Amino acid sequence: MNISKKLHDKFEYSMTVLRALVKTDFKMRYQGSFLGVAWSVLKPLMLFAVMYAVFARFLRMSDGTPTYPVVLLVGISSWQFCTETIGIGLRSVVDRGDLLRKVHFPNYIVVVSASVGSLISLGINYIVVLLFALFMRVEFTWRVLWLPLNVLELYAISLAVAFIFATCYVYFRDISHIWEVLQQIIFYAMPIIYPLSDVINRGGIYAKFGRLELLNPFAQTIQDIRHNLIAPQTQPTVWNSFHFWGAKAFPLVLTVVLLWFGVYLFRRNSSKFAEVM
């Protein structure tokens, strides 16, 4: 009974702190702006408009289906969630340094609170995606039931990288500049603005490269979301591109390993954060 009460008190306190930090972070994120929370929707929509005009209209880059604009919007919204979670998460410990030195609570909460704020923005974006999909007359299938698991995996891999970078950022501020470069490279390397089916259908080395991209947990998860929500007939996934179960399971295993390593690295160094800062 005593152990149960201690666990309850510990996690109840942690959840109270987490809720307070999430509420504060989400308010401060758009503090002073005229449009406020609307920017969480406007930013991916504005980026989508630019990318669609340049790549779909001007460069004629499309999968040839009427659902491609929705597919593009899903990819941009999902990737923005990843970059926002990692970008804010890696600075969260340093930005909350004064609070961590004054108030005793588990340090991992500051990283999780940043990720939850981004998750709320993702939920708002997906509502816009859903409305856009209804307008484009997308035919939904039973595969949408997999969507919560897809989002959970996307959250897990983003949180894993955030934990790793947050730990490194305490010691090396260069991590933020490295991440700014990396996110641009990953964005254009992954099938977000260009259709993966077009790459695979070219055959030869292009098809091999296209399938290898699906071993990246970010690309694999975003493709799964597109496949299950919008276009199961035209969106390649790791599940229908590989016959070997080891390849199919690789992104999931890598996500679990990175999340474990991120939590382990963060917890191992968290006791030294206040001293280093």
Nearest one of 237, 226, 249, 92 to 159, comparing CA atoms: 92
Domain contains 51: yes
Report how many domains make up the chain.
1
Question: So what's the pLDDT on residue 204?
Answer: 77
Q: Is the pLDDT of residue 37 over 90?
A: no
Torsional class of 137: left (φ above 0), alpha (ψ -120 to 50), beta (otherwise): left
Find the mean pLDDT for residues 102-130.
81
Count of alpha carbons within 13 angstroms of residue 3, beta-carbon side: 0
Domain contains 13: no
Domain contains 14: no
Q: Is the pLDDT of residue 19 over 80?
A: no
Residue 64 pLDDT level (bands cut at 50, 70, 90): low
What is the distance between the alpha carbons of residues 167 and 91, in angstroms, rounded to a whole number? 9
Q: What's the pTM?
A: 0.85
Domain assignment of residue 78, given as a range? 19-31+38-276
Q: Is the pLDDT of residue 229 over 70?
A: yes
What is the distance between the alpha carbons of residues 221 and 146, in angstroms, rounded to a whole number? 11
Q: 155-194 pLDDT, tens per residue?
A: 999 999 999 999 888 888 888 888 988 888 888 888 888 8
Q: Is the pLDDT of residue 130 over 70?
A: yes
Question: 37-51, 76-90, 108-122, 135-149: which range is least confident on average?
Answer: 37-51
Domain contains 250: yes
Q: Is the pLDDT of residue 261 over 90?
A: yes
Domain contains 2: no
Domain contains 8: no
Domain contains 9: no
Question: So what's the pLDDT on residue 76?
Answer: 86
Domain contains 4: no
Most confident stretch, 4-18, 94-108, 221-235: 221-235
Question: So what's the pLDDT on residue 276?
Answer: 65
